Amino acid sequence: MSNLERVGVSLDKPLLAEFDKMIRVKGYANRSEAIRDLIRMALSEAALESPRAQGIGGVFLVYDHHASKLAEQLIQLQHTHLLQVIASVHVHLDHHHCLEVIILKGAVQEIRHLADKMASLKGVKLGKLTLTSVTNEH
């Protein structure tokens, strides 16, 4: 027996046309798959608002590797937060710039705090956190 339930949605024609265009571009097999993904994404975003939310995030840092002691500071922060840091990747972008991607897991408030610490280090040119909730549902 299927665990799916059929529902109906009313949409303005222009909105539906834009949605259909988007799902074709993204390669969805049908509207239902696209709508399920949108609902999951909305639920994940809403879950991040809970004070006890658990999440997983990627901190993307672009920096000048010639910046004094920045690499050591990033390594020190990662070692200080071993329970949150689960992986990191270092990429040489050009002669001066590196990309560091640090994967963090744990309490969302702690992830945000650590990402802010990393992004605010002197020499970091760009810092961005991408965050999603950790859930076994949906």
Domain extents in the chain: 13-47, 54-133
Asked if the model's pLDDT at residue 3 lies above 90, the reply is no
For domain 54-133, give the CATH number.
3.30.70.1150
Query: What's the mean pLDDT in 56-60?
Result: 97
Decide: 116 and 128 in contact? Cβ < 8 Å. no
Query: What's the mean pLDDT in 125-131?
Result: 97
Asked if the model's pLDDT at residue 135 lies above 80, the reply is no
How far from the centroid of its chain's Cα atoms is residue 114's Cα?
A: 14
